[in-house]
Structure 1
């Protein structure tokens, strides 16, 4: 698929199936992420690959984080069971992390945006290879216990979780009119 087609047609797919992306497909996805806009070439990203049995461990981490962050008694067994199975919705999960560097000309927000750009490039690379992907986030990614459970430092922030696999089913996304979102500034 050519780049413009991938950019114009990429959609999020939440119904994913096995098999996991191949090593070559994953290499392409990671290489795309490494081409994100990056002020001063700080490379403010880190990617955690979660596959196979590690998805079960990730589910346990999610349940533990929710239990610790919920007021006493508000994390039901039903919710914990649901969280244990969430990572099993895709054969591959990539946690995208902003790895913040101290720099006098590149503020933290620019580095976070760069990591977000890396995530978007990776989503598009997955789509261009015929894979389905969805970028998941939520309040749990901001919890210290999640960051610690993933082995992150205080200078690293989770940008999101990219769930990637074979497309089981997807919905049609409406076409958007460019003119609904673009204004010409400064013209009379």
Structure 2
């Protein structure tokens, strides 16, 4: 896939099946993440990778958060099954470090860019991926269970696998109106 095509046709793929990324494909995801903008070379991100049976551990984290929130048994069960929707789930965290030259928002943006670059690298290798957030990404208990500190943040969960169907490419957006002369 050519770079311009990759950038201008990016669409999430929610229907993912086995196989997940091979070790070589996963290495390319990692290498892509390392190219994110990174002022002062802080690498303000950390990734927790769940594959195979480990996805059930992530499901248990989701379930625990749902139970703590007082959700119904059905909702708690559904939460525990969410990570099984892809062969690989990457929990993407901003690993914040105090730095007077690099504000918190910039560090979050760097972690978000690293996540997007992994998603794009997946697409470039004919894999499918979807970046999910939802309330799990805002939950302090989930953050703690992922090993995050109180000033860290969950950027999202990148689900990666083989597309179950061809990736639907969404129509282009009218972006020109979002630009103006200075």
Q: Which interval holds the TM-score relative to the shorter structure? A: over 0.9
3-state SS, counterpart of residue 47 of structure 1: strand
Which of the two has higher C-alpha Rg? 1
Which residue does 1:179 correspond to in 2? 176
State the distance in 1 between where 2:140 and 2:49 align.
20
Runs of at least 5 residues in structure 1 that lack an aligned partner in the other structure: none
Deviating more after overlay: 4-13 vs 86-95: 4-13
Deviations 1:82-115 (A, max 9, x none): 1111111000001111111111111111100110
Deviations 1:10-46 (A, max 9, x none): 2100000001110111110111111001111111111
State the distance in 1 between where 2:125 and 2:115 align.
16
Q: Is the 8 A contact 1:69 1:143 kept in 2?
A: no
Q: Is the 8 A contact 1:126 1:164 kept in 2?
A: yes
Give the length in aligned residue pairs.
181
RMSD: 1.3
State the distance in 2 between where 1:78 and 1:157 align.
27
With structure 1 as the length reference, what TM-score do the two structures score?
Answer: 0.91
Alignment of 1:51-130 (within 5 A): 51-70=51-70, 75-130=71-126
With structure 2 as the length reference, what TM-score do the two structures score?
Answer: 0.94
Q: CA deviation at 1:172?
A: 3.4
